[in-house]
């Protein structure tokens, strides 16, 4: 096994352990156990426990920002863009579950303090992109012009991030179904679907595939 591959193994193991126990509660020994190594051996690959965490943090957030930019660049209707952004968020969330588990639970600001990583900046960028989606909808007259965009954005993202607490890949709902329901919920609220559909000016085209 190459050095790179071994390093990747270690980082993945660390991600799992950090998510399960939390960064501070997790011991280097736990990471070693996960790999069947002795803890001293890890230091052949890493320098400190903090660097291990830092290594995990880079990547997932950047990918989400990039994916959001792509969606924004399309010519879809606002409601559809929103649906796709929600889906995208949930999908990345699930794919980098370990990372987000850490990201949501730990206070990672101390990482920004003494290194080149700028997590907070990335989050700000991501938020701004969401706001753009909502603003487009308002400008197009299909979203409530009276809404407070930051609150609504936080409401939707909070809704998505909440999946961390309860979503299980082997649970009753596949991630697509959750995305579908979340999008429908965001766009139409709880009002009976028929009435909502009748009144809605911008139906989502994503619900056609699975009508559950």
CB of 69 to DNA, least distance (A): 36
**Binding of DNA by 110 (CB under 7 A):** no
Would the CA dihedral through 200, 147, 91, 212 be positive or negative?
A: negative
Q: Decide whether 47 or 114 has the Cβ nearer to DNA.
A: 47
**Binding of DNA by 191 (CB under 7 A):** no
**Residue of 31, 174, 32, 1 whose CA lies nearest to 98:** 31
Q: Decide whether 57 or 178 has the Cβ nearer to a copy of itself.
A: 178
Tell me which DSSP letter residue 139 carries: H
Q: Decide whether 116 or 146 has the Cβ nearer to a copy of itself.
A: 146
Q: Could you say which residues in the range 19-58 bind DNA, by CB under 7 A?
A: 26-29, 36-41, 43-45, 47-50
Q: Decide whether 6 or 76 has the Cβ nearer to DNA.
A: 6
Q: Would you call 207 helix, strand, or coil by DSSP?
A: coil
Please list, residue by residue across 41-73, b when 16 or more beta carbons sit within 10 angstroms of its beta carbon and e when fewer do: ebeeebeebeebbbbbbeebbeebeebbeebbe
**Binding of DNA by 74 (CB under 7 A):** no
Query: Binding residue for a copy of itself (CB under 8 A) from 38, 39, 124, 193?
Result: 193
Residues near 87 by beta carbon (within 8 Å), at least 6 away in sequence: 176, 179, 183, 206
Within a 13 Å sphere around the CA of 161, how many CA atoms are in the beta-carbon half? Answer: 13
CB of 18 to a copy of itself, least distance (A): 12
The site map against DNA for 157-186 (x = CB under 7 A) is ------------------------------
**Binding of DNA by 13 (CB under 7 A):** no
**Residue of 127, 126, 124, 131 whose CA lies nearest to 81:** 131
Q: Which two tokens stand for residue 118?
A: 């700028």
The footprint of a copy of itself (CB under 8 A) covers 20-22, 24-25, 79, 82, 104-107, 134, 137, 141-148, 151-152, 154-163, 165-166, 173, 177-178, 181-182, 185-193, 195-196, 198-201, 212
């Amino acid at each position: 096994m190459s050095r790179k591959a071994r390093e990747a193994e270690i980082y993945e193991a660390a991600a799992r352990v950090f998510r399960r126990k939390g960064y501070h509660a997790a011991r280097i020994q736990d990471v070693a156990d996960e790999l069947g190594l002795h803890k001293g051996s890890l230091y052949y690959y890493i320098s400190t426990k903090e660097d291990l965490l830092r290594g995990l943090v880079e990547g997932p957030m950047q990918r989400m920002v990039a994916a959001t930019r792509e969606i924004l660049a399309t010519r879809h209707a606002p409601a559809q863009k929103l649906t796709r952004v929600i889906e995208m968020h949930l999908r990345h969330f699930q794919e980098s579950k370990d990372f987000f588990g850490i990201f949501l639970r730990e206070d990672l600001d101390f990482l920004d303090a003494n290194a080149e990583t700028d997590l907070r900046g990335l989050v700000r960028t991501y938020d701004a992109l969401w706001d753009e989606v909502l603003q487009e909808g308002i400008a197009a007259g299909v979203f409530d012009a009276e809404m407070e965009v930051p609150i609504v954005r936080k409401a939707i993202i909070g809704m998505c991030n909440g999946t961390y607490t309860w979503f299980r890949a082997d649970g009753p709902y596949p991630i697509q179904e959750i995305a579908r329901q979340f999008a429908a919920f965001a766009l139409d609220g709880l009002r009976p679907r028929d009435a909502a559909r009748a009144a809605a000016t911008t139906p989502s085209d994503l619900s056609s595939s699975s009508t559950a």
